[in-house]
């Protein structure tokens, strides 16, 4: 095989796909160039590349969609090839042509191929002419009258689609002729805004179909092949959430599967396809399948195919772009086991998947046999409004589908992600649903089995109480270590027996509140109360990185405590205002808003006044002689063991004496304020 190799690749993308491509390029010994926007200056893909070039401001329109700036970056760095990844400019025929005109290799299909498939109407016609089954539809005159006549001929329901683009934009289902005019107007507006082209097409809507696609590859020597199928039926807003290979569809017999994959190869040959592409089909309940579209790029879900075939599809893309022949690069491809991928996104499923923003304060990817994580984030990454909500892809492979599901659920549970709302708990719900486990998936799976009201995951009262106990004790231990006090004095120790230490916690976004009270025992255990629960606590170990292990009533558990919504570290003088508590072996994170304090106790009031309940320093005197006070009014603020305690009036009365000044140090039992009863 004679190759015309290139030695440097510019990746015109960001996030997980940029990292994914860069890793393979480095493994092949290629020099790598990244591009970035202002928002991505500190992103992982920038650090992973040998060089990186700033494109512009954060919006994609000023950075990742700027053809001129990408080509200039390639020129100044001497890049010989450009990989577009997916999204952004990956299916832009003009960009592919501009790359070629600039003397670089475009790692993807020819510009004319992209242009052919850029029109869904044209793609349907081409596929039909080459014997690829298509859904009955219409792509003629665009006026409402012609569209209505076409609907009458096709039959209801129909699906309105934008001819110029995908991703579910401009797509809607029409079930009555009365609803057609409004649906057409809305689809035109959306398509024009998203793609600059309001051309629409109609297709017969297949009720509850499966979405099955075939991974294809072609080379410049005329060879075309398939790498089997993937199922991507679990979707929200026409966008994929879970993908797997092979498809578990019972109607996909060996014979139908073979015909489906061969239809994908027919489509690739019809296009004279080069590189990686995906031919998408709808599969009905009887095993009939119909062409949807060709994605002329690497798919988000390509790791599923990689895990079942053992191939590196990015490497194959690069070698095909160098002129390699598939007959030598992949002469015999076999599939082994089952692989499933989930898309971890910054979004809130309980609010109909609205995107979420924030800063990732914890990112701990899971590890284990058969587990793969493709991510473009790290701890400290700011997730903002400028780009897609995809954070990472969590993928698992196993000998069987059930084992792949089990491994994937375990990986999601072990995943440490805090600071940004994600769909992690929703993914766990979906993977555990009996219909998914049985392989009974279709494109309405989420709507039918996981409606909005079922997606809200709230921690139980027991989980909240346990998280509050962990947080309070760990904070006390860290404060103790930070203060370098007597080693034998345990966290929570008080030299006043009338009260334990208390910390109040609220569950963020919820109504639950837990007050933790703990007192040290001489036998080295703590007696802890939180809400309705009470525990004996022993063997508390706090790690420098935010971990905490402790035994509650004889059961040891391991936790990760991560402060966020605050820049203060948990080992500092103050406990963070917001702390996420993640328990090993459980996916959910309990987010607590802490109001750490000593209780606002009535002062130790022997004779109409208040005394110091412990040795300490007077921080503030809040009353003056002659001032009238009511029961519960604050009198003095005392600091001890780096915590403040507000001492309050035990009864209504008048201040007749103040015995201390701010800054004074006092012993336990010292008189602070004297009151005369009203």
Helices (H), 397-553: 401-414, 424-432, 434-437, 445-449, 461-483
- How much is the pLDDT for 167? 62
Token pair for residue 108?
A: 């993807």
CA-atom Rg of the chain in angstroms = 32
CA distance 76 to 53: 9
8 A C-beta contact, residue 191 and residue 169: yes
Q: Are 501 and 519 in contact (CB under 8 A)?
A: yes
Return the half-sphere exposure (C-beta side, CA atoms, 13 A cut-off) of residue 82. Answer: 28
From 108, 114, 107, select the one nearest 8 (Cα to Cα).
Answer: 107
Classify 10 as helix, strand or coil.
strand
Distance CA 28, CA 314 (A): 11
Catalytic option among 31, 124, 297, 529: 297
Alpha-carbon distance of 130 to 257, in angstroms, equals: 19
Decide: residue 460, CB within 10 A, 0-12 exposed, 13-18 middle, 19+ buried: exposed
Structure tokens at 165: 């683009």
CATH numeric code, 461-597: 3.30.700
| Whether 68 contacts 74, CB under 8 Å | no
Structure-block tokens of residue 113? 């191929």
Query: SS3 for 66?
Result: coil
What is the sign of the dihedral through the CA atoms of 629, 634, 638 and 640?
positive
**What token pair was written down for 287?**
């095993």
Contact between residue 463 and residue 590 where contact means Cβ atoms under 8 Å apart: yes
Can you list the pairs that 576-581 forms with residues at least 24 positions away whose Cβ atoms lie under 8 Å? 578/508, 579/471, 580/361, 580/362, 580/418, 580/419, 581/467, 581/470, 581/471
Phi, psi dihedral angles at 21 (to 5 degrees): -70, -45
Per-residue model confidence (pLDDT) at position 613? 72
**Maximum distance among all Cα pairs of the chain, rounded to whole angstroms:** 102
* Pair 674, 609: CB distance under 8 Å: yes
Please give the pLDDT value at position 678: 61
If you count them, how many residues does the chain have? Answer: 678
User: From CA 267, how far away is CA 59, in angstroms rounded?
Assistant: 36
The CATH architecture of the domain made up of 8-107 is 3-Layer(aba) Sandwich (3.40)
- Provide the 3-class DSSP secondary structure of residue 647: strand
CATH architecture of 609-677: Beta Barrel (2.40)
Q: What is the pLDDT of residue 498?
A: 40
DSSP strand pairing (382-383 vs 358-359): antiparallel
The region, left, alpha or beta by phi > 0 then psi within -120 to 50, assigned to residue 213 is beta
Fold (topology level) of 136-204:
Dna Ligase; domain 1 (3.30.1490)
Q: Calculate the CA 621 to chain-centre distance.
A: 49
Angle, nearest 10°, between helix axes 302-309 and 313-321?
100
Helix/strand/coil for 132: coil
- CA–CA distance, 6 with 322 (Å, rounded to integer): 7
Q: Any idea which residue has 């599969």 for tokens? A: 283
Alpha carbon distance 297, 114 (integer Å): 9
Q: Is 639 exposed, middle or buried (0-12, 13-18, 19+ CB in 10 A)?
A: middle
Look at residue 166 in the predicted model and tell me its pLDDT: 66
Number of helices and strands (H, E) in the chain? Answer: 17, 39
Q: What are the structure tokens assigned to 366, written together?
A: 């899971």
The answer to whether residues 248 and 401 touch, using CB atoms and an 8 Å cutoff, is yes
Phi-psi region of 564 (alpha: psi -120 to 50; beta: other; left: phi over 0): beta
Measured distance CA(481)–CA(487) in Å, rounded = 8
Answer whether the bond into residue 646 is a cis peptide, omega within 30°.
no
List the domain boundaries for the chain: 8-107, 136-204, 211-454, 461-597, 609-677
Closest of 562, 650, 557, 570 to residue 602, by C-alpha = 650
297 classed as catalytic:
yes
Same topology between domain 136-204 and domain 609-677: no
Residue 248, phi then psi, degrees to nearest 5 = -85, 10
- Residues 399, 401, 406, 410: is their CA dihedral positive or negative? positive
Contact between residue 601 and residue 383 where contact means Cβ atoms under 8 Å apart: no
- The whole-number mean pLDDT for each consecutive block of 10 residues of the chain, a chain of 678 residues, reads 88 98 98 98 98 96 97 98 97 97 98 92 90 90 94 93 76 92 90 85 89 98 98 93 98 97 97 97 94 95 98 98 97 97 95 89 95 97 91 98 98 94 95 97 95 84 82 69 48 48 67 62 65 74 81 86 58 58 86 60 53 79 92 83 72 91 82 84
**162, 190 Cβ separation under 8 angstroms:** yes
pTM: 0.79
Instruction: Single out the residue of 470, 670, 480, 663 nearest to residue 581, CA to CA.
Output: 470
Query: How many CB atoms neighbour CB 425 within 10 A?
Result: 19
Q: Does domain 211-454 have CATH number 3.40.50.300?
A: no
SS (H, E, C) 612-625: CCCCEEEEEECCCC
**Residue with structure tokens 């008189």?**
671
Cα 174 to Cα 218: distance, rounded to the nearest angstrom = 37
């Amino acid at each position: 095989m004679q190759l015309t190799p290139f030695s440097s690749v510019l990746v015109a993308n960001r996030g997980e796909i940029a990292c994914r491509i860069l890793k393979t390029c480095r493994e092949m010994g290629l020099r790598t160039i990244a591009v970035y926007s202002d928002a991505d200056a500190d992103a992982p893909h920038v650090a992973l590349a040998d060089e990186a070039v700033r494109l512009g401001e954060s919006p994609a329109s000023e950075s990742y969609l700027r053809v001129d700036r990408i080509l200039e970056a390639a020129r100044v760095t001497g890049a010989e090839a450009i990989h577009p990844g997916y999204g952004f400019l990956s299916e832009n025929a003009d960009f592919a042509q501009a790359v070629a005109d600039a003397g670089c290799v475009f790692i993807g299909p020819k510009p004319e191929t992209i242009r052919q498939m850029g029109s869904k109407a044209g793609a349907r016609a081409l596929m039909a002419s080459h014997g690829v089954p298509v859904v009955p539809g219409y792509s003629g005159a665009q006026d409402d009258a012609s569209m209505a006549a076409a609907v009458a001929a096709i039959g209801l329901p129909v699906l309105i689609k934008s001819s110029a683009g995908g991703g579910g934009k401009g797509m809607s289902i029409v079930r009555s002729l009365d609803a057609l005019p409004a649906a057409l107007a809305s689809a035109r507006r959306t398509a024009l805004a998203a793609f600059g082209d309001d051309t629409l097409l109609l297709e017969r809507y297949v009720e509850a179909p499966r979405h099955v696609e075939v991974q294809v590859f072609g080379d410049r020597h005329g060879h075309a092949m398939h790498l089997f199928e993937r199922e991507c039926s679990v979707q929200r807003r026409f966008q994929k959430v879970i993908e797997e290979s092979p498809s578990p569809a019972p109607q996909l017999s060996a014979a139908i599967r073979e015909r489906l994959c061969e239809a994908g190869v027919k489509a690739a040959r019809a296009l004279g396809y080069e590189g990686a592409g995906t031919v998408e089909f709808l599969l009905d309940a009887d095993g009939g399948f119909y062409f949807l579209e060709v994605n002329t790029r690497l798919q988000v879900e390509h790791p599923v195919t990689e895990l079942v075939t053992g191939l590196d599809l990015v490497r194959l893309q690069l070698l095909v772009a160098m002129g390699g022949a598939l007959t030598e690069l992949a002469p015999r491809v076999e599939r082994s086991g089952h692989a499933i991928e989930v898309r971890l996104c910054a979004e809130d499923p309980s609010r109909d998947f609205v995107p979420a923003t924030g800063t990732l304060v914890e990112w701990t990817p899971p590890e284990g046999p058969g587990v793969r994580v493709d991510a473009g984030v790290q701890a400290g990454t700011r997730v903002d409004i400028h780009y897609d909500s995809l954070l990472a892809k969590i993928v698992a492979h196993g000998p069987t589908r059930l084992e792949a599901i089990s491994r994937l659920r375990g990986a999601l549970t072990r995943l440490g992600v805090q600071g940004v709302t994600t769909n992690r708990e929703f993914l766990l719900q979906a993977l555990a649903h009996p219909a998914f486990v049985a392989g009974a998936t279709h494109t309405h799976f989420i709507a039918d089995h996981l409606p909005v009201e079922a997606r809200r995951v709230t921690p139980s009262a027991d989980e909240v109480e346990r998280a509050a106990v962990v947080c309070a004790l760990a904070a006390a231990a860290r404060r103790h270590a930070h203060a370098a006090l007597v080693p034998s004095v345990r966290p929570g120790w008080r030299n006043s027996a009338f009260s334990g230490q208390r910390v109040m916690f609220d569950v963020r976004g919820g109504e639950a509140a837990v007050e933790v009270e703990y007192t040290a025992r001489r036998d080295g255990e703590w007696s802890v109360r939180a809400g309705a629960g009470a525990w004996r606590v022993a063997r508390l170990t706090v790690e420098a990185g935010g971990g905490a292990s402790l035994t509650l009533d004889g059961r040891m558990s391991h936790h990760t405590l991560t402060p966020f919504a605050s820049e203060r570290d948990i080992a500092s003088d103050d406990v963070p205002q917001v702390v996420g508590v993640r328990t090993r072996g459980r996916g959910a994170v309990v987010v607590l808003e802490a109001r750490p304090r000593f209780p606002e106790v009535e002062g130790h009031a022997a004779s109409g006044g208040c005394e110091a309940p412990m040795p300490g320093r007077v921080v503030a005197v809040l009353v003056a002689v002659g001032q009238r006070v009511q029961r519960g009014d604050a009198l003095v603020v005392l600091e001890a063991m780096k915590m403040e305690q507000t001492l309050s009036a035990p009864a209504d009365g008048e201040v007749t004496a103040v015995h201390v000044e701010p800054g004074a140090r006092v012993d336990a039992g010292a008189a602070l304020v004297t009151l005369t009863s009203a």
